[in-house]
Structure formats: C-alpha cells, structure tokens
Copies of this chain bind each other. A is one copy, B any other.
Amino acid sequence: MTKVLIVDDEPQILRALRINLRARDYDVEVAADGASALRTASAYHPDLIVLDLGLPDMDGVDVIRGVRGWSDAPIIVLSGRAGSGDKVVALDAGADDYVTKPFGVDELLARMRAATRRHGAHSTRPTVVRIGAHTVDIANHRVSGGHPGDQDVRLTPTEWHLLSTLVRNPGRLVSQRQLLQEVWGPQYESETNYLRQYMAQLRRKLEPDPAHPRQLITEPGMGYRFLAPD
C-alpha cells in the first residue's frame, strides 16, 4: 500500500484529501506545518509527499530541501501562487510536480499515479549499505562507526545529499552534471570543483584508504559511481 504524507495548513483540505485517498486505498499521514512535516517524513518514510507551499512556520521550499537531503520520494507541490518564478524555484529545489489551486481531485490523483509509477520500480531499494567498515543508513540518516563501540561518523548536509544521490544508484554511473544539478541546483552545472572537494571529504570519512577508493569511484571526464560491496 502506497504511503502518502499530506502537508497543508488548511484543515478542510487535509480532511478532504485524507478521505479521498483512504477511499482509494492509500495509507495517509498528515501534517499542518513545516516542522511536523519534516518530523513525520523521517519517522513515516512516505512513498509520496503532497506539499502545500504556504505553511505558517517556514518556507515550503525549505521543506523540499530538507526532505531531499535524505529521501528521493516524489514531492507534488500544491500552491495558491501561479507565478512562474515560484514554480521554477520549487521544481529546482527538488519537487517533482507543481499543481496550482484550485485543483481537481482527479487531476491530483492522476499526477500521483504518474509520480509513483515513475518512481515505482526502485521502491524496494535497500536503505542500508556498507562502505568500507561503515554502515550507511540512508533512510535514518546515520553512519555507524567502523568498529563496534565507535562513535557514529558525522556528515554535513551537503555530504549527505551527495552520498545519498550516489547510493540510490548503486553500480550506475552518475554524471557530474546530474550530481551538481541534484545537490547544488541547475546553475552550478559546471562547478566541478565542488564535486572534487566533497568526494574527497566523503572518501576521507568513509573509505578505508581514501587515496585508493574502492567504492566511491571516479570515472574520469564523466562522473562518479558507487559500487556496492559484492
């Protein structure tokens, strides 16, 4: 059953969507502000997020960025503002679709189907992988220390974003362009020095021998690749 998180500050919209979606066999959770949205998302691990941008406590775009740091669940944005600028900012921050209010429920449902269909094949991806002696749990945002009793490894938000983008595509080549666009945004597509900088940091924190990486691999001129162990 598909798990959906709905974030909106208007109670009647929350009610209407919850009823509609439950009737169509979705598993629904709701949140009414940005802080509880981020909290619920990390605890509930939804397969899809429907997000209203007009939240009382924080900017909806920051909610998108917060979720995108560790999850690639599809995000469909609802918004009262039809301006082109708002759409561009939300989509570039990591949203998958943008629907302006008022919207038809049929349309929203169709867009939800399209989003989950596209995302569907890989929904059973393992969320925990081993890198060197470390255990990386993408969903729960944790990297265990190398040996039992060791402290956890701390990663900065940017490091997380970069690492999770690679780990979500095990064995695949991820182009420099794609990484830069995903982590820093489309206007940074040529700043390859960022990649050099942060890949080096990830290797230093995760690889047993950072100078000779075995799992965070460089493909010269093209991109980077995460190799799962065995």
| Nearest CB of B to A230, in Å | 11
Contact-residue bracket for chain A:
35 or more
Find chain B residues with CB under 8 A from A92 CB. 110, 113-114
Residues of A within 8 A of B (CB): 72, 74, 84-85, 87-88, 91-92, 95-98, 104, 106-107, 109-111, 113-114, 117-123, 140-142, 154, 156-157, 160, 165, 168-169, 171-175, 178, 181-182, 186, 219-222
**Nearest-neighbor residue (CB-CB) of A179 within chain B:** B120
A85 to B98 CA separation, bound complex (whole angstroms): 18
Q: Which of A72, A121, A169, A182 has the most CB of B within 10 A?
A: A121
Find chain B residues with CB under 8 A from A172 CB. 123, 140, 142
The contact of A173 among B98, B110, B119, B141, by CB within 8 Å, is B141
A119 in contact with B122 (CB, 8 Å): yes
**Nearest-neighbor residue (CB-CB) of A172 within chain B:** B140
Find chain B residues with CB under 8 A from A74 CB. 118
Find chain B residues with CB under 8 A from A117 CB. 178, 181-182
Question: Which 10 residue pairs are nearest across A and B when measured between Cβ atoms?
Answer: A84-B104, A157-B221, A141-B173, A91-B110, A88-B110, A91-B114, A140-B172, A84-B107, A120-B178, A87-B107
Find chain B residues with CB under 8 A from A114 CB. 91-92, 95-97
A140 to B217 CA separation, bound complex (whole angstroms): 14
A141-B219, A156-B221 given; A91·B113 CB < 8 A: yes
